[in-house]
């Protein structure tokens, strides 16, 4: 039996659905993933010119020593994510009748934009749509309503968001590399809700993992941990790296999810 059919049947038989997603989930909406240095530099050619890879640029120190460079990177991404419409694969997942929870390393807010319940999402690396103080002067996190214009030629932000409380530079509430100043309050609240959702599982669970890479394997490891803990079925959707799933689908997110939905519909008509 092919993997699409297997996935459709596994989903059909489950009551609970854990959706885990990495940057690959956004690719079919037109967002870049950051696969390796080459992938990152394809998305940010200017970073290549500056000799900065993802790890070097996604570093909180830039907010201290060069806020305009730091906000060029995050401001550009903020604008990109604000202007993106989630692809149809999100709708397929949203329309499934299961009791669902989302666990993602994406900071782009696309699940919320697609209409997923804000209270049933863990954004394990934080969100670009929330701000915190760079210092931080306090544990506060607030919604990012700022307009950040970016001169991409010079890779400089023209606007720098400021802390609401002390007026120092503000930064996205995103976990960066070598980051000891990330305010964890929001993600901890999300993790508490996730833990109580997991505690309530009393029937068959399926995990649908989409576009999670190996460079920062947070999402892959979480999918595997929950699979082992619950004896759940892991459906791994990834055009290049689907190995290790109980059901491996080597397609892009949108194509795979639409195919699964089409098969589920056929299946319903037959019974």
- Residues in the site for ligand NAD, rule: CB under 6 A? 22-24, 26-28, 31, 33-35, 105-108, 125, 210-213, 215-216, 237-241, 252-253
Range 125-144, binding Zn ion (CB under 5 A): 133, 137
* Binding characters for Zn ion, 164-203, by CB under 5 A (x = yes): -xx-x-----------------------------------
* Closest CB 137 distance from ligand NAD, rounded Å: 25
Using the minimum distance from each CB to Zn ion, give the nearer residue, 110 or 144: 144
Which one of ligand NAD, Zn ion, none is in contact with 28 (Cβ closer than 5 to 8 A by kind)? ligand NAD
Which one of ligand NAD, Zn ion, none is in contact with 137 (Cβ closer than 5 to 8 A by kind)? Zn ion
Residue with tokens 């306090």: 138
Using the minimum distance from each CB to ligand NAD, give the nearer residue, 92 or 163: 92
* Closest CB 39 distance from ligand NAD, rounded Å: 6
Q: Are 188 and 213 in contact (CB under 8 A)?
A: no
Which one of Zn ion, ligand NAD, none is in contact with 252 (Cβ closer than 5 to 8 A by kind)? ligand NAD
Encoded tokens for 214: 């190996």
Using the minimum distance from each CB to ligand NAD, give the nearer residue, 36 or 201: 36
Element holding 16 (H helix, E strand): strand 16-21
* Closest CB 79 distance from ligand NAD, rounded Å: 13
* Closest CB 143 distance from Zn ion, rounded Å: 16
- Using CA atoms, how far apart are residues 228 and 234, in angstroms rounded to an integer? 10
Scored b (16 or more CB within 10 A) or e, 16-50 reads bbbbbbbbbbbbbbebebbbebebbbebbeebeee
- Using CA atoms, how far apart are residues 269 and 250, in angstroms rounded to an integer? 27
Using the minimum distance from each CB to Zn ion, give the nearer residue, 139 or 189: 139
Encoded tokens for 171: 């930064």
Q: Are 54 and 43 in contact (CB under 8 A)?
A: no
Which one of ligand NAD, Zn ion, none is in contact with 22 (Cβ closer than 5 to 8 A by kind)? ligand NAD
Encoded tokens for 151: 């001169």
* Closest CB 84 distance from ligand NAD, rounded Å: 9
* Closest CB 185 distance from Zn ion, rounded Å: 14
Residue 263: left (phi > 0), alpha (psi -120 to 50), or beta?
alpha
Count of residues in contact with Zn ion, rule CB under 5 A: 6
- Please, what is the angle between helix 88-95 and helix 253-270, to 10°? 40
Among 163, 232, 235, 260, binds Zn ion (CB under 5 A): 163
Using the minimum distance from each CB to Zn ion, give the nearer residue, 102 or 163: 163
- Using CA atoms, how far apart are residues 195 and 90, in angstroms rounded to an integer? 23
CA neighbor of 39 nearest in space, from 257, 156, 214: 214
Helix and strand element counts for the chain (H, E): 12, 11
Using the minimum distance from each CB to Zn ion, give the nearer residue, 137 or 191: 137
Q: Which residues bind Zn ion (CB under 5 A)?
A: 133, 137, 163, 165-166, 168
């Amino acid at each position: 039996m092919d993997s699409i059919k297997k996935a459709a049947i596994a989903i059909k038989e489950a009551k609970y659905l854990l959706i885990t997603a990495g940057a690959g989930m956004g690719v079919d909406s037109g967002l870049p993933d950051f696969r390796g240095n080459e992938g990152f530099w394809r998305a940010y050619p200017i970073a290549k010119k500056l000799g900065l890879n993802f790890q070097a640029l996604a570093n909180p120190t830039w907010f201290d020593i060069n806020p305009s460079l730091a906000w060029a990177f995050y401001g550009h991404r903020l604008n990109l994510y604000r202007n993106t419409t989630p692809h149809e694969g999100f709708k397929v997942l949203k329309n499934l009748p299961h009791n669902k929870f989302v666990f993602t390393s994406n900071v782009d807010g696309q699940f919320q934009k697609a209409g997923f319940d804000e209270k049933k999402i863990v954004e394990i690396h934080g969100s670009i749509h929330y701000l915190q103080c760079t210092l931080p002067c306090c544990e506060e996190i607030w919604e990012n309503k700022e307009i950040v214009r970016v001169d991409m030629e010079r890779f400089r932000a023209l606007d720098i968001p400021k802390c609401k409380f002390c007026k120092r530079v503000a930064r996205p509430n995103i976990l960066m590399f070598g980051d000891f100043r990330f305010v964890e309050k929001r993600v901890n609240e999300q993790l508490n809700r996730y833990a109580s959702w997991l505690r309530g599982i009393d029937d068959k669970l399926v995990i649908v993992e989409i576009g999670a890479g190996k460079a920062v394997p947070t999402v892959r490891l979480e999918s595997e941990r929950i699979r082992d803990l619950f004896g759940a079925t892991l459906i791994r959707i990834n055009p290049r790296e689907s190995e290790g799933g109980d059901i491996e689908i080597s397609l892009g997110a949108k194509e795979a999810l639409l195919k699964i939905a089409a098969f589920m519909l056929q299946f319903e008509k037959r019974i």
